[in-house]
Amino acid sequence: MKPPDPHGWAFALLALASLFATGCAPSLSLPSVRAAAETEPVRGVEDAADDPAIWVHPTAPESSLVIGTDKDRGKGGLHVFDLGGRRLSIAEDGGVNNVDLRPGFRFGNRGGGVGVIVAASRRTDSTLALYRLDPATRSLRKREARPIRLGMEPYGLCLYRDATGETYVFVGDKEGRFVQLVLTGNDEGMVDAAALRTLKLSSQAEGCVADDETGRLYVAEEGVGLWRFNAAPEGDTTAHAVERVAGNKALKADLEGVALYTRPDGAGYLVVSSQGNNSYAVYDRQPPNRYLTSFRIADHAGIDGVSETDGLEVVSAPLGPRFPKGLLVVQDGDNRPGTQNFKLIDWREVESHLHPQPADSAR
């Protein structure tokens, strides 16, 4: 049989058939946004940077901070950056995987006062890491009342503040289990934790975010999809499916970081890292959490694009002239020739693409 003409229609059909037979369908065309800044690289090598948190300065928003994890067991800890990406301090604390924070935490009735609590999953010794952010020195101070052992190798983590002002932490492992603990300050200004209940998915999950206003918890099960739980400690433990990877061609496992962009009256968005195709999916904040769009982060003005994102965070607060409608921070899994770092994206870049996709375009 004569081989197909490399310039003819028969060859094109044969090539296309071969492409789909190998499971490698052409990549979906998605819009791109650009990073406005990037942080200095973390010290750990290989897969070290993982998850960011953003602290919004209450009176000088341009002085807000980004806190990023470094899970290298030898050089790891938490890095504190300004909005230009400059490293201001490091809390050396072993391999720290995920991080979250809440202002307004009562560290104790005597001497502790109210401040910003920062929680992280410390994989080096399978404990919960707790700190207080010092806005004056822009550094972190350890505040664990004791070694808070979790009985598992911690992985994902996020905080939740309920309507009564109680603060909780969800900590997950690689088996899909999430433990909910309540955090309390003592008279010495230190923080303790007590486990309350366990939530369970069928496989590995890491990214999570709690919606303090609505009492919902969202968890990304890496190879399966996005789930919604009741975040209240007395709530039911049923997992409600928001999105399955197999049901949306704009997604590709693993699903990783999950973040919440809040607007008044319950409006806003969920942002999810689709690590397998280097993109980010955006959903309505309110159930049924309708899928809106996806985007990628491209090279721009000397800042490389982003790929293989683990954790991410977003805030809607205006952070000065560079980020007047909020800020998205994402981990960059490939920052060669340097080690991994975090990219900062002006939310206006994302906002320009926030429109519902036609039903047949992404699903």
pLDDT at 3: 39
pLDDT at 357: 54
Looking at per-residue pLDDT, the higher value among 224 and 8 belongs to 224
pLDDT at 27: 59
CATH number at residue 224: 2.120.10.30
Residue 282 Cα distances to 211, 304, 350, angstroms: 15, 22, 9
Enter the tokens of residue 155. 């992985």
Mean pLDDT score, 181-200: 96
Q: Specify if 19 maps to a domain.
A: no
Q: Specify if 1 maps to a domain.
A: no
Q: What pLDDT digit, counting tens, does each position of 16-70 carry? A: 333 333 333 445 789 999 999 999 999 998 899 999 999 999 999 999 999 999 9
In the chain, the number of structural domains is 1
Q: What pLDDT digit, counting tens, does each position of 78-115 carry? A: 999 999 999 999 999 999 999 999 999 999 877 689 99
Q: Which helix (H) or strand (E) holds 183?
A: strand 177-185
Q: Specify if 4 maps to a domain.
A: no
Q: Which helix (H) or strand (E) holds 350?
A: helix 347-351
Say if residue 5's pLDDT is above 60. no
Confidence tier at 321 by pLDDT (50, 70, 90):
very high
Say if residue 355's pLDDT is above 90. no
Say if residue 159's pLDDT is above 60. yes
Q: Specify if 5 maps to a domain.
A: no
Mean pLDDT score, 340-359: 86
pLDDT at 14: 36
pLDDT at 301: 87
pLDDT at 111: 67
Residue 358 per-residue DSSP state: P
Closest CA to 99 of 66, 75, 144, 135: 66
Closest CA to 250 of 284, 231, 224, 274: 274
Prediction pTM value: 0.91
Q: Specify if 16 maps to a domain.
A: no
Q: Specify if 81 maps to a domain.
A: yes
Confidence tier at 363 by pLDDT (50, 70, 90):
low
User: What DSSP string describes 294-336?
Assistant: EEEEE-BTTB----S---EEEE-S--STTSTT-EEEEEES--T
Q: What is the mean pLDDT of the chain?
A: 91
Backbone phi, psi, residue 270, to 5°: -100, 135
Domain that holds residue 99: 27-358
SS3 state at 11? helix
pLDDT at 61: 97
Mean pLDDT score, 256-275: 97
pLDDT at 73: 87
Q: Specify if 162 maps to a domain.
A: yes
**Contacts for 234-241 with beta carbons within 8 Å, 24 or more apart?**
237/197, 237/198, 237/199, 237/200, 239/199, 239/201, 240/287
Q: What pLDDT digit, counting tens, does each position of 118-142 carry? A: 999 999 999 999 999 999 999 999 9
Say if residue 322's pLDDT is above 70. yes
Q: Specify if 14 maps to a domain.
A: no
pLDDT at 110: 73
Residue 17 per-residue DSSP state: H
Distance CA 207, CA 205 (A): 6
Mean pLDDT score, 189-202: 97
